[in-house]
Structure 1
Amino acid sequence: MRAYVFTRYGGAENQEFQDLPTPEPGPSEVRIAVCAAGVNPVDWKIRAGWMRDDMALDLPAPLGVEAAGVVEAVGQDVDGYSVGDEVFGSTATGSGGYAEQALLSAAATARKPAGLPFTTAAVLPVAAATAYDGIGQLKLDPGTTLLINGIGGGVGVMAAQVARDRDITVVGTASEDKRALVESLGAILVPYGADTADRVRQILPDGVDAVLDLVGGDALRAVAGLSRDPGRVVSAADPVTVVEVGGSPIERDRTSTVLDAVVALVVAGKIDPHVAEVFPLDDAAAALQAVEAGHARGKVVLEIG
């Protein structure tokens, strides 16, 4: 199979196309013919070596952690999926979506509804599922308020829509040039700056009921105190700092249950993944560069086959 891989940890100079053996699904895995693959910041972070201590990979390794396609083979212990099923999910460790074939973890795979484009389904396992998990972890009731720190990114855009569906009022921090996007989500933009917390208090003098952080570091420290309950500060970006401020890291479910819930919201028209750019596999380098440089204004997808 043709795959876009990284050959060593480091920069983009370590990426290239290679012909690799078609992978065979092991226990709890399915192999798909990839139709589309999501492109995410985690892809270049894996290549850069940020996660090498927690994710042992044999190099070269295909890039991409989420994909959608048609089942070609199933592992010996996999129930519920058959050859020909249209599915989407998270790639198995060592596999990747930037390829003609990929292995998915069966537990983190779900059926793609008929009529839903593969390019839409492919971007749900990372950003949408993370957002769904984060909002669920905060256990907010209708009518409460939520600050999304970094609302303009892929997870933030999805989190704002999940919150909106639950009648939660959302305030979000992002750059001024994302105002139209943020307001289209039904959220209130607070531009990044040294006085971000003060700007939020101008809108909500008593602070907010919870904070979902997608930035980390000093940006998290600056807004954590806005939550009336320090325990209702959750971060998907900085597990160390969030504990320092009294909150907790996001707890990912990573199962088909969440994917089924998220795709149901998409089909019902309650959330839009905001697929902004679709690249062919041949342009995988450009697609990943757009995400790594932070220029993408929505989800970036590779269309394959």
Structure 2
Amino acid sequence: MSEAVRTYVFTEYGGPENQDLIERELPDPGPSEVLIEVRAAGVNPVDWKIRQGFLREVMPLDMPAGVGREAAGIVRKVGQDVEGLSVGDEVFGNVSPTSGGIAEAALLSAGSTARKPPGVAWETAAVLPVSAATAYDGLAQLACKPGEILLINGAGGGVGVVAAQLARDQEITVVGVASADKRELVESLGAVHVASGQNVAERVHQVLPDGVHAILDLVGGDALRAVAGLVTDPSRIVTAADPDTAAEVGGAGVERDGTSRVLDAVMHEVAAGKLDPHVNETFPLSEAAEAIQAVEDGHARGKVVVTVGG
């Protein structure tokens, strides 16, 4: 008899009413995949954007489709061509496109899976593959030098929190644009907080009359247009949220590395005590809907995690 595992899915494109926790057959890992028993899964804006259908042309899915793009857990099976990972390993990584991380078991892409050190919590490891790796890739692309000024647009979210810390440790001055209620969080990261909203560029100019050297945008749209003029060289605008608007103002989207090399790098910072991804809310699998809603509402500070088993 096949084993059934609880998996959080959406059954058709649209709103949260299309989400459900169901039981389905335990999947087998295909080539370049590992099957893990999930201990924790990160929740990201991309999860509800996929459900809404924003990415359906580049990422077509069969229904019901699993929710969650990052997870941490214990390897249960490995695909036939996988090397360097074994049953029983504690790992974290990017979920395969056909799977979902918010589940009792999930398939990870072996090439973007890394080992979790024993002293790092499952919840912390689970939130590194998407937001922390995106922050790492964005900073690498911008290649800021020590002493330069980086504006992070949307500094209070998961990517921004990590980017601010990584930039700080590279001796880059960080200006964090975020809502007024996230001022304490942004300043705790060593960044200068500037309130988002109308006239944001004027508020930045009050602090930095000469503008900034680079922009890492995590919001897009009009919020990106509002700050784009603060940088002298538009090619030093990189976005993880809105490549179309970035191109409009002369910038580009984040070029993702997508390999375990980046996961090892950010985990090294975490294990050394230099990086805290700020996991601020956790929900059990039975409350996955509430976890996704917290991110979809845009009010989450730091990261939201769904915990499973353990």
| TM-score above 0.5, yes or no | yes
What is the alpha-carbon distance in structure 2 between the residues aligned to residue 295 and residue 197 of structure 1? 22
Q: Segments of 4+ in structure 1 off by > 3 A?
A: none
**Could you tell me which residue of structure 2 aligns to residue 103 of structure 1?**
107
Identity %, equivalent residues: 67
Secondary structure of 1:301's counterpart equals strand
What are the residue-to-residue correspondences of 1:269-288 with 2, within 5 Å? 269-288=273-292
Q: TM-score, normalised by structure 1?
A: 0.98
Matched, 1:166 2:170: yes
Q: Out of 123, 146, 149, which is 1:145 matched to?
A: 149
Moved more, 290-299 or 115-124: 290-299
Number of positions where the alignment pairs a residue of Structure 1 with one of Structure 2: 305
Q: Is the 8 A contact 2:142 2:236 kept in 1?
A: yes
Deviations 1:140-173 (A, max 9, x none): 1111110011111111111101101101000011
Please say if 1:243 is aligned against 2:253.
no
CA distance in 1, matches of 2:92, 2:147: 33
Please give the root-mean-square deviation of Cα atoms over the aligned residues, in Å.
Answer: 0.9
Aligned counterpart, 2:212: 208
| Structure 2 residue aligned with 1:50 | 54
| CA deviation map 1:50-90 (0-9, x unaligned) | 11111111111121100000001111111000000000000
CA distance in 1, matches of 2:209, 2:265: 34
User: Quick one: which of 203, 208, 211 aligns to 1:199?
Assistant: 203
Q: What SS is found at the alignment partner of 1:300?
A: strand
State the secondary structure of the residue aligned to 1:253: coil
In structure 2, what is the equivalent of residue 37 of structure 1?
A: 41
**Corresponding residue for 1:91?**
95
1:262 pairs, out of 263, 266, 273, with 266
C-alpha contact (below 8 Å) 2:119/2:271 kept by paired residues? no
How far residue 241 of structure 1 moved from its aligned partner, in angstroms, is 1.1
1:16 positional shift: 1.1
Shift of the alpha carbon at 1:221?
1.2
Alignment match, 1:66: 70
Distance 1:100 1:17 in 2: 11
Gap runs ≥5 in structure 2: none
Whether 1:220 and 2:216 are equivalent positions in the alignment is: no
What secondary structure is seen at the aligned counterpart in 2 of 1:20?
strand
